[in-house]
Structure 1
């Protein structure tokens, strides 16, 4: 019995030493965000000199079940390896908080980039280049039976070289089966879909609605659905009516937007269907290597559009 107790004490001591060593790897620079998930802190690695973001999530008040769910979501993050998804580095727990270390995107978020336009509309090529990268990230997520559930311009980031990366999977949910539907109403109000507002079941098509909200934002520099209070906002979202985008943009782009905003989730395209559209598909090879295209897609999808991915080894 005494041996077992001593062993446990040694184990606890070793874990504390390990956590301390991890904490010492990062020098705190500044707090860069705070939300329902907790704090986002910009840090600098003492090992490689690079900057990272540490998300600090208070788990001390969570139930054991909620803590396990948080740890499972970290495990999901660890397996998300894609050029258009913010890269997870490591995680650890200390003093009742869960810390998640992620890459830092120097270019800021898409929301700030949109606001920086000061009313000057983006060129369509720029919008579509960003949009296809967001779709590639979302495809990677949905193909793994995961809902992001908080897609918004503040959670879409730009790297130093202008690459788009989808981040903040803080409330992502792993689907246990392809037919499981999540009923939890979480997310930013402007991006909520009609079915969530009506407390109806939803699946990946709610992410598609939010994707439409982001596309609309890029086209107009405004939210598709706005109101002075939550009640009127919900009524607007449920009605599905929104101000049209400028005729300056192509029919293909405007038509896609109307498809993403279909009130019935079943009528919205999947992210795979979006990526099969000719004017979208032809841009994919700008952002993914031939080998990665082969890994992410079936080859026949691209033969229609003249894109010839090289089979992966």
Structure 2
């Protein structure tokens, strides 16, 4: 540290401190990451030295250049270039007047992807992609920083009690205690893209438990329709819950609306170097077949994780129930050993699906049973209505029959002569009524029914007919025999 003059502390986190310094040799400003390694074992320190050596040799226009690293007084110091434009997080928070234009968002996103592709192509994981680790130069270029540092810090005692990375950018597989791989970086890349479009985090909650649940479910508010369908569809791909369904960074850069912007940020020589198929033959042996496209290569990045690199378990730490079993951290896993956790998780997923299917089936059965019950009730009611209508008609017919019997007996006797419907005995004498023809043949001299009733009893007959109709209704409603009334002839019936 004698070569540098400390200016101010510009950041502090779980990894340690970030200090702005000025070199006494060239007068340039740099940022030094100060990491405590006093509690590391000798093996872990050696692993850290190797990691830092690889990271310091990275050279890309969109990656913060590492100058050197050294150890002093129980701390690891990593010296890197200083970006005067600040980080993307502050740029987003200072944005006023609405979200960024899509052109600006896509330019930043392409530069981030180019940096991440350079890292993934060399089988290195970033592990801490977030807007605070994306820096802007004074010329407006984007540079990715702090890649791999979380991998070095992952073995420290301090970080064993905390979460690696900012919780807002955790992927579902990390929340479910699965190993970190290049697809976890892709998820964090989607979180950064969402943040640039909406000026807020994709997954937010009042506490860590609810945040982890939201991440596992993959539920986030949709992006405004102000942005194109290509951009919104890309976000959906980056936020796939299953890491196998997420595209690699090489596949993302092959999108037409993104690939047309690459020439703005890389020279033709660098483009030929970064996207040349010959680059694949220069990779160290690790199961990469020659001639594979860049989209297929990052999937092998998880094979270089050492057993000493522990993965924090935020979901278990904050009490979120998970179906996946914990994988032993001390055992060395071979390259193909990543499949058993997937099988266990898939088994738990199958059990969950079976349970959901059983619940849906039971619910459908209950609905069908309720529907049949309603149909039976309706049929029973219809039968009751028909029975009531039938009984009603029987009572009406019965009332009519009884009423006509009263009419026929209204003359005061059972014989036609006594009721005034026939001829008097002998058929002679003054006042003899018209003769009543009895027989099948019609009588031309027979009077109409209105003439049968004597003139002096016509009014009484009409009055009785009205009472008879009322009695029929009474009989229908009560089911009892009608009360005795006064007939036109003066008799009680």
Measured after TM superposition, the shift of residue 119 of structure 1 is 5.7
| Counterparts of 2:14 and 2:51, CA distance in 1 | 16
* Secondary structure, counterpart of 2:8 in structure 1: strand
Measured after TM superposition, the shift of residue 120 of structure 1 is 1.7
Match of 2:44 in 1: 66
| Counterparts of 1:60 and 1:263, CA distance in 2 | 38
1:261-280 correspondence to structure 2 within 5 Å: 261-280=239-258
Measured after TM superposition, the shift of residue 42 of structure 1 is 0.3
User: How many residue pairs end up in the alignment?
Assistant: 268
TM-score by length of structure 1 reads: 0.83
* Secondary structure, counterpart of 1:107 in structure 2: coil
Structure 2: stretches of 5+ with no match in the other structure: 153-161, 279-493
| Counterparts of 1:200 and 1:285, CA distance in 2 | 37
Match of 2:30 in 1: 52
- The correspondence for 1:288, drawn from 266, 271, 282, is 266
Structure 1: stretches of 5+ with no match in the other structure: 1-22, 174-183, 301-313
Match of 1:311 in 2: none
| Counterparts of 1:32 and 1:259, CA distance in 2 | 35
Residues 119 and 221 of structure 1 are in contact (CA less than 8 Å); yes or no, is this contact kept in structure 2?
no
1:236-251 correspondence to structure 2 within 5 Å: 236-251=214-229
Of residues 218-227 and 28-37 in structure 1, the stretch that sits farther from structure 2 once superposed is 28-37
| Counterparts of 2:164 and 2:22, CA distance in 1 | 32
Match of 1:35 in 2: 13
- The correspondence for 1:171, drawn from 129, 139, 150, is 150
* Secondary structure, counterpart of 2:230 in structure 1: helix
| Counterparts of 2:15 and 2:45, CA distance in 1 | 13
Say if 2:129 is the partner of 1:162: no
Q: Answer 1 or 2: which has greater helix percent.
A: 2
Of residues 92-101 and 225-234 in structure 1, the stretch that sits farther from structure 2 once superposed is 92-101
RMSD: 1.6
1:1-313 correspondence to structure 2 within 5 Å: 23-118=1-96, 120-169=98-147, 170-172=149-151, 186-298=164-276
Of residues 40-49 and 123-132 in structure 1, the stretch that sits farther from structure 2 once superposed is 40-49
- 1:55-81, CA deviations, whole angstroms, 9 ceiling, x for partnerless residues? 111111211122112211211211211
* Secondary structure, counterpart of 2:64 in structure 1: coil
Measured after TM superposition, the shift of residue 252 of structure 1 is 0.5
Residues 185 and 196 of structure 1 are in contact (CA less than 8 Å); yes or no, is this contact kept in structure 2?
no
Structure 1: 4+ residue segments shifted above 3 A: none
Change in CA separation of 1:233 and 1:278 when aligned onto 2, cut-off 3 Å: same
Measured after TM superposition, the shift of residue 246 of structure 1 is 0.7
| Counterparts of 1:58 and 1:79, CA distance in 2 | 22
- 1:68-122, CA deviations, whole angstroms, 9 ceiling, x for partnerless residues? 1221121121121101010000111111111111000000000000000136210
Measured after TM superposition, the shift of residue 172 of structure 1 is 3.5
TM-score by length of structure 2 reads: 0.53
Of residues 45-54 and 256-265 in structure 1, the stretch that sits farther from structure 2 once superposed is 45-54
Residues 30 and 42 of structure 1 are in contact (CA less than 8 Å); yes or no, is this contact kept in structure 2?
yes
- 1:195-232, CA deviations, whole angstroms, 9 ceiling, x for partnerless residues? 11111234100000000000000000000000001110
